[in-house]
Amino acid sequence: MKFDTPATTNPIDQLNVIGHPKDRIDGKLKTTGTATYAYEQNAAVSNPAYGYVVGAAISKGRISSIDSEQARQASGVIAIVTHANAGKLDKGEFYVSRALGGPQVDHYHQAVAIVVAETFEQARAASALLRIYYVREPGQFDLKAQKDAAQTPPPAAFGPPAQTDVGDFDGAFQRAAVQLDETYSTPDQAHAMMEPHATIAQWQGDQLTLWTSIQQLNWGVRDLAKTLGIAKEQVHLISPYIGGGFGGKGTILCDAVLASLAAREARRPVKVALPRPLMFNNLTHRPATLQRIRIGTDSNGSITAIGHESWSGNLRGGRTEPATAATRSLYAGANRLTRLKLAVLDLAEGNAMRAPGEAPGMMALEIAMDEMAAKLNMDPVRFRVMNDTQVDPEQPTRPFSKRQLIECLTLGAERFGWSKRLSAPAQVLNDGWFIGMGVASAIRGAPTSKSAARVRLDRRGRVTVETDMTDIGTGTYTIIAQTAAEMLGLDIDQVEVLLGDSRFPESAGSGGQWGAASSTAGVYAACVKLREAVAQKLGLDPVTTEFVDGQVRDAGASFMLASAAAHGDIEAEDLMEYGDLAKRFSQQTFGAHFVEVGVNAATGEIRIRRQLAVCAAGRILNPKTARSQIIGGMTMGAGAALMEDMVVDHRLGFFVNHDLAGYEVPVHADIPHQEVIFLDEVDPCATPLKAKGVGELGISGAAAAIANAIYNATGVRVRDYPITLDKLIDQLPASV
């Protein structure tokens, strides 16, 4: 099926199941510990061995020699794989980092060996007996020091172009009545998902099966086959449950590659789980940024010039952090400029993390908007509203398919009690705490990607859905079941959903906020085919037949749905592809974040008191799971604003705080109250379900709203994240 014209009325619009706050199908399995994650697939393989990955002890250089004799003689050791016996290895198409280092070492903790033994403890103990000798080479580890050497990156498949120019930015900025020119910074951040990267690998002849924690099975098959130099048909990936990803498990990484190599060398299944320190320094992360934002307005506050430049670092050949993405679409302004620059750094690879681009970019942009409002002596909500645009500011002839940013801001202001906010900072002192409110807009793209599914009706009237889509904790099982139930007139408990197997039809996968909208559209397409097959089986007109309450009805005739499959299952498979609607319309999701904070007048301690997000993101398929996604994003935004910072040792070149003891993330006590409001919206240009994703909208802008609230509370403007008390305490106003 091809979606190339805006959606009209269809069975989804009945809203008998879609749009209702259903409990997650996998929720009971998760809470009772019976959901089988990658490392827990004990019934899938017999007599597995255990692999322990060894990371490089230097940040840049080469391995001169490896003495593995003592390790090989250790108790229980079965095999050791290094670059010397791994065979020729390529790289996948998405990540630039090599899964196995040697003889060259590209960054600290790059995998340089895997030790395989009968038990995990034996493998770990033997790994300490490896004698790896290195020759260090000088490396570059400091983004600020390399800023001037940064270059314009080549065009990338993901993210905005490196340079955009509309109108005459320089001239308009110089002529602007009011000007802002400020620099902001965001640090390196870790995905810090609960489930570590883990894989069980098994070879049967030349066929490789992996039970692994990965978001995009189609990318994983492609990249693992390319890395190992085998055909894609030889690779089978299974990933039914994933304990968090946030972009950090987009495709295969060193756990999958090394488990495959180890299983081949050991001639038996091998289990690998990366310890937390290796996840921080070996795997991908959100890279640090330096951002310069310039905004010019006329005397009334209308933006006449807006410019956003961002610098980030990566391994040679890596991608830049696309921090200018939001600036291209969020506000009006005839004269515009964006620039992305990339410096070569010898740190672990920087790559996608929840809302890549928008999340760190809006940490700067939305502070700048607040600073500009202050210069204009204008309310920050009003300043944002008056600079709204209903057309793509880079292409004024291209409208937004749906854009309710003003509605999000105005409703949020009303519900949050924004009118009680005092515009002058540091005016509210309550029981030793400065109290302040902040706001930020939210925007995140609403992309879609082709996605396929298979649906099968059996004689009991039950429907099974199969697709290789993954559920990374987002509620995918549930919304796919709701889609099939709505299309076929069933209750949700009459639908079984099977996910996370690369032998199922290829879906869009989880990531980029495209998963929900794309995967349900693929299920929709397959269900349309199944409806046609059922109608024809029963001698009914496929165009006019209705599927309601487990029955199939047309022109006075009524049959139980199950009767169509009385003599055998009926199966249908299809995929949803897309035309040019995304080119004709700018497709985005929008929102507004409101935050109240308290800052201790004596210590500078910061406490979030309440958060509100108002979101416009197409039809909400399941308000319960969607709310969970938004508050999860808001919580990650709080972490980015107040604590998350992978500290770089600029001398030795590694992330020092590489575990969850040193790398702080929010806990329940940090997030006392969150509220989410979804605007009533359908977007017929998005998918037949008129829905969009929400998984990354919740983090976009959230950190800046906190930063702006801190300024309103204290009068101290911090432009370098995270905002920790040491950056406030010397500047706090007198509390007497």
Catalytic residues: 696
Task: Classify residue 204 as exposed, middle or buried by CB count within 10 Å of its CB (0-12, 13-18, 19+).
Answer: exposed
Give 3-state DSSP helix, strand, coil % of the chain, rounded to 5. 30, 30, 45
Query: Which tokens sit at 498?
Result: 């099977």
Maximum Cα interatomic distance, the chain, rounded to a whole number of Å: 84
Instruction: Supply angle C-alpha 282, 249, 242, rounded to 5.
Output: 125
Distance CA 495, CA 482 (A): 8
DSSP string, 161-229: -SEEEES-HHHHHHH-SEEEEEEEEE--B----SSPPEEEEEEETTEEEEEE--S-HHHHHHHHHHHHT
Specify whether the CB–CB gap between 324 and 137 falls below 8 A. no
Q: Which of 641, 636, 632, 644 is nearest to 695 (CA)?
A: 632
- How many C-beta atoms surround the C-beta of residue 547 within 10 A? 22
Task: Give the HSE-up count for residue 266: Cα atoms under 13 Å, Cβ half-sphere.
Answer: 30
Q: Is residue 729 helix, strand or coil?
A: helix
Comparing C-alpha atoms, which of 643, 684, 687 is closest to residue 667? Answer: 643
| CA-wise closest residue to 100 among 215, 238, 258, 281 | 258
Two tokens, residue 644: 């998350």
Q: What is the DSSP letter of 618?
A: B
CA atoms within a 13 Å half-sphere pointing along the CA-CB vector of 736: 0
* Amino acid in position 223: D
Listed residue (566, 545, 568) closest to 556, CA to CA? 545
DSSP string, 414-474: HHHTGGG--SSSS--EETTEEEEEEEEEEEEE-----EEEEEEE-TTS-EEEE-----SSS
Task: List C-alpha distances in Å: 200 to 47, 213, 238, 283, 390.
Answer: 12, 10, 10, 18, 50
Residue 326 sits at the vertex; the CA angle it makes with 643 and 183, to the nearest 5 degrees, is: 55
| Calpha distance 33→27 (Å, rounded) | 10
